[in-house]
Chain A
Amino acid sequence: GAVVSQHPSWVICKSGTSVKIECRSLDFQATTMFWYRQFPKQSLMLMATSNEGSKATYEQGVEKDKFLINHASLTLSTLTVTSAHPEDSSFYICSARDRGLAGNTGELFFGEGSRLTVL
């Protein structure tokens, strides 16, 4: 099946620094990738939709300048948390849609997630 790899799986950083998380589709091309944030024992909250070659579409309430998303190729999207603060500590998950699947089947393939802890 389709594999999405996320890196790093966990990261600890100091307050004020920036952290980059990568999301790669390993065996398919993904025109669209999604970034989610998940707090403990809660559901996934969509942060933004990342489209290859164009600007990301952010959900209401998500700061564009805080969470920079780049989708430079059909297999890679990155999320950069800029000037991280302790409240940014969370579990970040990416997912990707296979451009090869006919029509909008909706099926997404998820990465393993990245746990960010900001000290």
Chain B
Amino acid sequence: AQTVTQSQPEMSVQEAETVTLSCTYDTSENNYYLFWYKQPPSRQMILVIRQEAYKQQNATENRFSVNFQKAAKSFSLKISDSQLGDTAMYFCAFITGTASKLTFGTGTRLQVTL
């Protein structure tokens, strides 16, 4: 079975600070893609960052970066210089090479405060 675990239901960070959201997953396959999606209060899912499992280099997108540890099956998201607009639910997800559908974690609610 393929599973995604997000152990932090809620987190809070002050504006301009850095926060890390954790995610672990389980799969027996070697070829897969990992994602972090953001769901703001508007409810539309937005892709934050994407990582191919075959790439050792951690993906970065402006203030967002990941720490991908393949052996540990860990895929954490770091948000630097947090902004109020980062307040949202964050979902970790992955898809394997043989599957056609995303497996989502339970989400982490991030609140950015002044």
Contacts and interface: CB of A to CB of B under 8 A. Distances in A.
A111 B33 CA distance: 21
Contact of B104 (A44, A91, A111, A112): A44
Interface stretch (A19-27, A65-73, A76-84, A101-109): A101-109
Contacts of B91: 43-44
A108 B102 contact: yes
B95 A106 contact: yes
B44 A106 contact: no
B42 interface: yes
B44 A34 contact: no
Residue of A43, A46, A49, A105 with highest tally of chain B CB at under 10 A? A43
Contact of A43 (B43, B97, B104): B104
Interface residues on A, range: 20 to 34
B68 interface: no
B45 interface: yes
B55 interface: no
A49 B101 contact: yes
A32 interface: yes
Interface of A: 32, 34, 41-44, 46, 49, 91, 93, 95, 104-108, 110-113, 115
Given A93-B45, A106-B35, A107-B33, 11 more contacts: A41-B109, A49-B100, A104-B100, A105-B33, A106-B95, A107-B35, A110-B45, A111-B44, A112-B44, A113-B44, A115-B43
Interface of B: 32-33, 35, 37, 42-47, 50, 91, 94-95, 97, 100-102, 104-107, 109
10 contacts: A42-B106, A42-B107, A43-B104, A43-B107, A44-B45, A44-B91, A46-B101, A46-B102, A91-B43, A107-B35
